[in-house]
Amino acid sequence: MLKRKGIFTRLTAILLMLIMLTGCSEKATSPDEKGAEGGEIVVAARAGSMSDALETLAAEYEENTGVKVKITALPYDSLKEKVVLDVRNNSGAYDLVMMDDPWMPEFGESGLLLSLDDYFKDGVDSDFIKKSVDLCRVPYASGSLYALPLVGNVQMFFYRKDLFEKYSLDEPATWDQVLEASRVITEKEPDTFGYVLRGQRGNPVVANYIPLFWAYGGKVLDEDMKPQVNSEAGIKSMEMYLNLKETGPKGVETFDSDQIATALTQGTAAMTIAWPSWVSKVDNEESSKVVGKIEFSAVPGAVNDSSAMIGNWLLGIPKTSKNADLAVEFLKWVTGKDAEKKMALAGGGVPTRISLYEDEDLIEKYRHFPAQLDALQHSVARPRTPLWSKVEDTWGLYLSLIVSGEMEIKEGLDKANEEIEKIMQ
């Protein structure tokens, strides 16, 4: 009898312990422990003005929905690496990730992202700029949707409107007109160079030269992913690039964005290609000598009128997200018209919606918006290959050697084409 009583006592104790453990387990996963009654999601964002603006929007979203949105700000150089490692290790640390659009081929083809097709069965909002949405699909423009565009960066053409008016020059629509105007200004304005380009090897020279390459009908890679940088279009566009170089200052083969920005703001450059963020530099009354004198347009063309490089920031959901449905709802909200307008007004990035480039409040603050919309609608995406960074580095090396005069045009482009072919193989 005593033995049975002892067994019963031990079983009762075990049962009580199981009840206590179950209670602890339920408490650990309760909504309150997650920080908000509606749950929590984590966004990996590029550190700086974009992540700062997202922090503000996240607070508003939490107040309205009860869903906590944690913004993890990461420097550009480590953002991609951390996101890729997180997904490959199946960690699930992030529910939404910001991506530079050239990353999309790698992310999409490697299966790192969740397809959004089931969430957008009727397609995305037609207010989005189509060229921006095209970047979010794999294959490009025609495949499944893996992201939505958040920040609509694109190259624009900057030119001195006061000098164009002074010498009765028309706004340049072609590169031939750019060269003609550049020669006139260089000759008649002793302290101003007609055109200033970036010649530093790698990304700087490629980003500055590729709009001319596209304008003359060039394709970096053909339909079979074979390089075509030494085509007739490549030769003609580089001839124009070197002609423009002659109307600029010495030493442009080492120029990057800092040197271009200085030339623009100090009034020594009449024309160049630049990004929207530079508008604030030329209109800064404390540091710029050309406030109100710079005008903006879409990048000029030649054979093609679409030539500006598009450079959007996208938002996608890692396939390892544990809160995909919550992430989709925030994705829809933060890329919506109201949120994108607030983000733009806060200085967190330019919109990806047509209506916002026509919004009077935004145009009053950002006078370049009409020109930027034109540039976006006439933009070109960088080649959609996971190998783009290697292609860019190699191509940029030989372009720089041509600009510096160390190689002839044909020799340099032939060598570049040969090396890029090896990369693609």
pLDDT at position 12: 43
Tell me if 162 sits within 8 A of 171, measured CB to CB.
no
**Co-location of 176 and 304 in the same domain:** yes
Mean pLDDT, rounded, of the chain: 91
**Co-location of 85 and 140 in the same domain:** yes
CA atoms of 413 and 406, how far apart (whole Å): 12
Report the predicted TM-score, pTM, of the whole model to 2 decimal places.
0.88
Does the bond joining 249 to the residue before it have cis omega, within 30 degrees of 0? no
**Co-location of 185 and 74 in the same domain:** no
**Co-location of 278 and 406 in the same domain:** yes
**Co-location of 218 and 328 in the same domain:** no
CA atoms of 303 and 215, how far apart (whole Å): 6
Please report, to the nearest 10 degrees, the dihedral formed by the alpha carbons of residues 196, 197, 201, 202 taken in order: 140
**Co-location of 298 and 226 in the same domain:** yes
Give the chain's domain count.
2
**Co-location of 197 and 228 in the same domain:** yes
Name the H helices within 174-323.
175-188, 203-215, 232-245, 257-265, 279-282
Q: How far apart, in Å, are the Cα atoms of 13 and each of 7, 22, 163?
A: 10, 14, 91
Q: Is residue 118 part of a domain?
A: yes
Whole domain around residue 415: which residue ranges? 156-309+387-424
Using alpha carbons only, what angle is made at residue 267 by residues 262 and 268, rounded to the nearest 5 degrees? Answer: 75
Q: Which tens digit of pLDDT belongs to each residue from 139-171? A: 999 999 999 999 999 999 999 999 999 999 999
- Say if residue 44's pLDDT is above 70: yes
**CATH number of the CATH domain containing 409:** 3.40.190.10
Q: Which tens digit of pLDDT belongs to each residue from 216-252? A: 999 999 999 999 999 999 999 999 999 999 999 999 9
State the pairing for strand pair 137-138/144-145: antiparallel
**Co-location of 259 and 361 in the same domain:** no
What value does the mean pLDDT take over residues 76-86?
Answer: 95
Using alpha carbons only, what angle is made at residue 276 by residues 78 and 213, rounded to the nearest 5 degrees? Answer: 85
**Co-location of 291 and 223 in the same domain:** yes
pLDDT at position 259: 92
Q: Which tens digit of pLDDT belongs to each residue from 166-222? A: 999 999 999 999 999 999 999 999 999 999 999 999 999 999 999 999 999 999 999
CA atoms of 299 and 305, how far apart (whole Å): 8
237: its two tokens: 């566009």
Q: Which tens digit of pLDDT belongs to each residue from 372-422? A: 999 999 999 999 999 999 999 999 999 999 999 999 999 999 999 999 999
Residue 8: Cβ within 10 Å count: 10
